[in-house]
Structure 1
Amino acid sequence: MSTPRRAALALAPPLLVARRSSAQAQAIRAVCGSSPGSITDLIARIVQPGLAQRLGQPVVVDNRPGAGGNIAAEFLARAAPDGATIMVTSGGILTLNPYLYRDLPFDPVRDLRLVSRITAGGFLLAVPASIGVTEVDGLIAHLRRKGEASNYGSPGIGFAMHVGAEVFLNAIGARVTHVPYRGSAAAINALAAGEVDFLFDSRGPLLPQLQSGVVRVIANGGSLPDLAYPDLPRLSDRYPEVVVQSWTAIVAPAALPEPLLRRLDDAMRATLEEPEATARLRAVGNGPAYLGPEAFRQFFQEERARAARGVELAGIRPQ
């Protein structure tokens, strides 16, 4: 009579269990397109232990920053589709980069296979407390009163917060000058000083200024409730085309076989169900927002269309 473990091994696809010793020895490379300490890197390291445990193989985070994440994505696209190389990616690399770079070294549709969405969360619409605005209608009225002198900040040209702001302005019918800064910290400091009238950004970078009371959040740009402000109005409830959010996911080389895709996806789903992983993800910003391959593909198509529209409205030309 076989033991449960032997029975499980007997039923598993040969690709997954060909040799127990070699499977245990081979590490899975989880490529990350940003530097150590970045949000995407932190998320990769939070899910790393759970994936390793469930896959029965070490998982090593391999940071390959540069070119807006394109270096890491190209590396993944060229990797063997054997499950030994995956990528923990932010959404912008897959959705915005194709419209921002003229000679993109990979095609996210042709060269990559979507495995699982890990997290998702909206960028928050923030204003200086000094202007006395407490809701979206108040901001619209403020921008109209200020007229051509009104402006908004962002971490830089082509960031999701920049593109999303243009979609928002198009929805409310306002013309506002964009002021790009070098990163979120500089943009938020300018907001706190009243140098710009609004911006979109994540809760983490905004938190010190929110706690001090010099900045106020008035709306959630995402499709999911915010973890810290669950009652904050979502812009998409009023303007369906306005969805300004960040997300992370696991992707693999395009030719990854179906059994390996399912194995990776099962491991990620189970990892995101762990209370410890959930708590740690919530602590760094966005909580788990799992989508499996089929639902993830639909979500990706919607995000890609939104990115194309936003880049067009922002008047950004590929560089």
Structure 2
Amino acid sequence: MSMPRRAALAAMATAALLPGVAAAQGGAQPIRMVCGSSPSSITDLIARIVQPGLAQRLGQAVVVDNRPGAGGNLAVEFLTRAAPDGQTLMLLSGGIVTLNPHLFRNLPFDPVRDIRLVSRITAGGFLLAVPAATGVRDVDGLVAHLRRKGDAANYGSPGIGFAMHVGAEIFLNAVGARATHVPYRGSAAAMNGLVAGEVDFLFDSRGPLAPHLESGQVRVIANGGSVPDLAYPDLPLLSARYPEVVVQSWTALAAPARLPEPQLQRLDAAMRATLAEPEVTERLRQVGNGPAYLGPEELSRFFADERARAARGVAVAGLHPQ
């Protein structure tokens, strides 16, 4: 088989794998959408939910390219080295470009200088959770509980430097309480620690918390985000009482920094329309956080706020680059 024929068949196979994208899209080169985490991770699932809508609106196949490693830094480095032609994008998790610059020495990229944020896709708060057995039912109750325990008080997280770790330190600083950090190896282990009463509280997303909430072993008492939670819309926002306490995750479509303005607007319009699809909205809700669209200008301001918040949180937590 000749090389041109092999290439043509490969292109057709790629397009056939993408729902809503016909192989007859004029032979356009597929757009590569890099993801800094493994298949079936939350970020990967979000990428695959928006993938068909983007492909349809851009008139090109969109291929998700998982490049996990170094906390997402490998994927960002790949993005920043790509040509700014709209053919290489990234489904970006916010912590990579807000926390990682404070946690890794000699990063090969500058998030502000080397990345162009196109559209925010999702946003949602990490929920403040306590073991139901403690009887704590609200933030005041948790603060009183921590003060009673004194030096024996502690909190869990999926690991050192995660947003949930930094957020817990911001929370403790805001309420004037102390607790020792107990880092676990991932959310599942942290949840087990919470259920077992090894820790007094933690922040995490609704997905890992769900089975323990359903069993009644864990109680959520506040939302760390800036928007109401989809499943618990009446849960109080910590930021309403403590403006500096915002503990949330977000994702965005990103491109190399020198992306031309017409390309930026084209990509943003495609993402905005995709997020307006009812099916996309519902699938994102099932994953966790629903659509939380922001366009380039609003997203730029949001990103500046998130960077400043991360810098404060890292300082409070006493973290240093490794």
When the two structures are superposed, what TM-score results if normalisation uses the length of structure 2? 0.92
Contact 2:25 2:59 in 1 (8 A): no
Structure 1 residue 315 corresponds to structure 2 residue 318: yes
- Aligned mate of 1:223, from 200, 222, 226: 226
CA distance in 2, matches of 1:236, 1:81: 37
Give 5+ residue unaligned stretches, structure 2. 1-23
Match of 1:121 in 2: 124
The structural deviation recorded for 1:23 is 6.3
Structure 1 residue 185 corresponds to structure 2 residue 193: no
When the two structures are superposed, what TM-score results if normalisation uses the length of structure 1? 0.93
Structure 1 residue 161 corresponds to structure 2 residue 199: no
- What does 1:168-247 align with in structure 2 at a 5 Å threshold? 168-247=171-250
Match of 1:131 in 2: 134
CA distance in 1, matches of 2:169, 2:213: 24
CA distance in 2, matches of 1:189, 1:121: 23
Q: Deviations over 1:16-47 (max 9, x none)?
A: xxxxx886521000000000000000000000
Contact 2:116 2:254 in 1 (8 A): yes
Match of 1:13 in 2: none
- What does 1:1-319 align with in structure 2 at a 5 Å threshold? 24-319=27-322
DSSP 3-state at the match of 1:263: helix
Contact 1:24 1:56 in 2 (8 A): no
Give 5+ residue unaligned stretches, structure 1. 1-20
The structural deviation recorded for 1:103 is 1.1
Contact 1:116 1:293 in 2 (8 A): yes
Stretches of 4+ moved more than 3 A in 1? Answer: 21-24
CA distance in 2, matches of 1:227, 1:187: 23
Contact 1:65 1:72 in 2 (8 A): yes
Contact 2:35 2:90 in 1 (8 A): yes
CA distance in 2, matches of 1:23, 1:122: 42
Return the letter of the residue paired with 2:51. Q
CA distance in 1, matches of 2:25, 2:271: 22
CA distance in 1, matches of 2:250, 2:107: 21
Return the letter of the residue paired with 2:276. E
CA distance in 2, matches of 1:79, 1:97: 20
CA distance in 1, matches of 2:268, 2:149: 50
Return the letter of the residue paired with 1:180. P
The structural deviation recorded for 1:105 is 1.3
Q: Deviations over 1:60-79 (max 9, x none)?
A: 00000000000000000000
CA distance in 1, matches of 2:309, 2:191: 25
The structural deviation recorded for 1:175 is 1.4
Return the letter of the residue paired with 1:229. Y
Q: Deviations over 1:250-284 (max 9, x none)?
A: 01000000000000000000000000000000000
